[in-house]
Amino acid sequence: MTAITCAQLVELVTDYLEGELDELTARRFEEHLALCSGCRTYVDQFRQVIQAAGQVAEDDLSWQARTHLLAAFRGWRER
């Protein structure tokens, strides 16, 4: 496998952040990031979006309570 391009990297960001890339691809990903400030900015912004989205979605509900409602919601949709 050769080095990855910026266009390829932007499609791997989530898999990278989730730790789902294979070892070789993860290494190529990090090598690219070390050399490319454009992709560093992109990955950094992705992180910010995930963090902000979490805050936006947060409310006074516990995770378990949401699980119950969403499970019920799914059951209703499938009926």
Partner 1 sequence: MLRLARLHVSSGSAAEDVLQETWMAVLGGLHRFEGRARLRTWVFQILLNVARTQGVKDRRTVPFSALTADLDAGPTVDSARFQGPQEPFPGGWRQFPAPWTSPEDAALSGEAERVIREAIMQLPERQRVVIALRDVDGCKPQEVCEILGLSPGNQRVLLHRACAFVRQQVEGYFSRRHAARTERT
Which residues contribute to the site for Zn ion (CB under 5 A)? 6, 36, 39
Instruction: Tell the smallest beta-carbon distance from residue 10 to partner 1 (Å).
Output: 5
Query: Is 41 among the residues that bind partner 1 (CB under 8 A)?
Result: yes
Answer for which of 5, 22, 30, 31 binds partner 1 (CB under 8 A) is 5
Ordered DSSP codes for 6-71 = HHHHTTTHHHHHTT-S-HHHHHHHHHHHHH-HHHHHHHHHHHHHHHHHHHHH--S--HHHHHHHHH
Which of the listed partners (partner 1, Zn ion, none) does 63 bind, with a CB threshold of 5 to 8 Å by partner kind?
partner 1
